Structure 1
């Protein structure tokens, strides 16, 4: 690349790295492209899923929108409408809120590769309906819904 050219990455050649902290069922390899491209308002991540693995738990977000592009394979997409197979070349948008809830799993026998795109607005909140958790970024913390408190609890009196 010569001076003045914008960085470019061939997503077909990208290979992800595993995170040793991922538990069974959520072991994937990923490569975050946004920082490599100098992106500040849009995230892009290539995920590789072996059979039986998912990218993340079923969730939806407030504050950000996500898009899925299937690069290789036929993963199963869970949404509020049920499960469906998606195939190479398919694009799906997950809007903010409950209508955008999703989970992607490789129920097949071959490797699945996908590109996830997302806005990177902060703060962002993710809701995990299956486990009744709420994630807040920043600070990057997860909370159980059952730990909710009343609005004025522990507030000092005027």
Structure 2
């Protein structure tokens, strides 16, 4: 049963770690997130409240074949790395990435303080996430998400919970 009344986002269970296989998992740091969309049973889009500590990164630089993404900064300062360069992201700033647009991106906390942001992403069956800087892709099948090398070989399953 999912709540049918407003709640404080800070009451949603905190998740941490990543589902990346090594050698990528250890690059992510100790970031955490609250899966707000899942808390309410939403199925058409994900909605996460994420916190990056100094030195953390949100993900490896990636783009999605079928899913849109939107990032909205709440607190702190992050560096957004895209195909077009590095950009500072501060509270109130936002950016969107259209499905199929090959503008690989991720956020890195290069500051000395934690930073919080919202991520909204569509959930489209058959989406693939591509990582141009790494030998990695995530394929979505009926059985879930699977990390694979660019030649299609599967990575061993990660034991971490993940974003």
Q: TM-score surpassing 0.5?
A: yes
What is the alpha-carbon distance in structure 1 between the residues aligned to residue 109 and residue 82 of structure 2?
A: 15
TM-score (norm 1): 0.80
What is the alpha-carbon distance in structure 2 between the residues aligned to residue 15 and residue 46 of structure 1?
A: 11
Q: Which moved more, 1:98-107 or 1:57-66?
A: 98-107
Does 2:112 match 1:114? no
Residue of structure 2 aligned with 1:73, choices 51, 76, 79? 76
Deviation at 1:24, TM superposition (A): 4.5
Deviation at 1:30, TM superposition (A): 1.0
Q: Which moved more, 1:15-24 or 1:60-69?
A: 15-24
Shift >6 Å, 4+ stretches:
none
Residue of structure 2 aligned with 1:140, choices 113, 137, 145? 145
TM-score (norm 2): 0.78
The alignment partner of 1:100 has SS state of coil
Over residues 32-75 of structure 1, what are the superposed CA-to-partner deviations in whole Å (9 max), with x where a residue is unaligned? 01121231101101111100000110000011000001111110
Larger Rg: 1
Consecutive unaligned residues of structure 1, counting only runs of 5 or more, are 149-158
Going from structure 1 to structure 2, the CA distance change for 1:20 and 1:122 (only over 3 Å counts) comes to closer
Q: Which moved more, 1:26-35 or 1:63-72?
A: 26-35
Consecutive unaligned residues of structure 2, counting only runs of 5 or more, are 20-24, 154-163
What is the alpha-carbon distance in structure 2 between the residues aligned to residue 144 and residue 80 of structure 1?
A: 21
Q: Which moved more, 1:29-38 or 1:17-26?
A: 17-26
